[in-house]
Amino acid sequence: MKNGKEYKYILLDLDGTLTDSMEGITKSIRYALKHFDIEVRNLNDLRKFVGPPLKESFMHFYHFTEAQAEEGIRKYRERFADKGIYENTVYEGVETLLQQLNEAGKQVMLATGKPTYYAEKILNYFHLDAYFKFVGGSGLDGSLSHKDEVIRHVLESNNIRDLNRVVMIGDRENDITGAKRTGIDSIGVLYGYGDREELTSAGADRIVTSVEELSRVLL
C-alpha cells in the first residue's frame, strides 16, 4: 500500500467492483416492476438499484410496502436466477488483480449484498472462485442484508481481529458506510455504479478510477 499501510485482508464487493452486472440486474428489476404494472423503458433509470439492498430500494424508489417489496424480490429472482445472473461481464484486469493478490499472500474475500447462493454461482461461472478464501453475502431469507452485517460475518467467520490490516473495496455508498461501521478502511472505485461525490460523502479513505490504479494501491 502506497500510503504506508499494508493490507493483508482484502474484502471485495461484487457488482460494480469485480463484474459489470448492470444489464442482468436492471432487466430483472424491470421484469419485477412490470408485475406491478410499472413500465420502465430506459434501463439506466434502474441503475440506482445496483448495489444497495433490493428490498430497501423497492420501498425507497417506488414506495412499496414491505410486503410488496418482498413480492418484488420474488419476481426479480424469477428472471435473475435463469437469465440475469449471466448477463454479466468481468471488468478488464480483475482476474489479473486477483491472481496478483493471491501471489502476494493477501487473503481475498468477497463481501457482497447479493445472496451468497448467487455470488458463488457467479464466481464459479467466471472461474474466479479459486481466488477467494471466503465468500460472504446475504441470505436468500433476507438475513445479512446490510453491508456492515456482511462485513462482520466475513471478519467473524475468519477470526480476523487486526482491523488495521483489513480494507473493504466497493463502488457504492453502502460499501463505504459498511466499512466505517465495522471499523475498517475503505477504497471506493469509480469504474462501477457510484460517482466521486457519493463515495466522498460516504467517507471513503481512498478513491481509485480504474482496476489498474487499485492494483497499484494494494500491491
What is the predicted pLDDT for the residue at 5? 82
Q: Which CATH class is domain 9-20+90-218?
A: alpha beta
Q: State the Cα–Cα distance between residues 17 and 183, nearest whole angstrom.
A: 21
Average pLDDT, the chain: 96
Question: Which residues make Cβ contacts (< 8 Å) with residue 81, sequence separation at least 6?
Answer: 118
- Average the pLDDT over each of 1-5, 28-32, 64-68, 195-199 and give the range with the smallest value: 1-5
196, 176 contact by CB (below 8 A): no
Q: Which fold has domain 22-86?
A: DNA polymerase; domain 1 (1.10.150)
Half-sphere exposure of 30 (CA within 13 A, CB side): 16
Q: Strand locations in 16-118, DSSP E?
A: 19-20, 89-90, 107-115
Predicted confidence (pLDDT) per residue in 66-122, tens digit = 999 999 999 999 999 999 999 999 999 999 999 999 999 999 999 999 999 999 999
What is the predicted pLDDT for the residue at 204? 98
Domain with CATH 1.10.150.240 in the chain: 22-86
Portion of the chain with pLDDT greater than 90, in percent: 97
Q: For 15, which DSSP code? A: B
User: What are the residue numbers of the active site?
Assistant: 13
133, 156 contact by CB (below 8 A): no
Domain with CATH 3.40.50.1000 in the chain: 9-20+90-218
- Residue 3 clears pLDDT 80, i.e. is over it: no
Predicted confidence (pLDDT) per residue in 136-158, tens digit = 999 999 999 999 999 999 999 99
- Residue 4 clears pLDDT 90, i.e. is over it: no
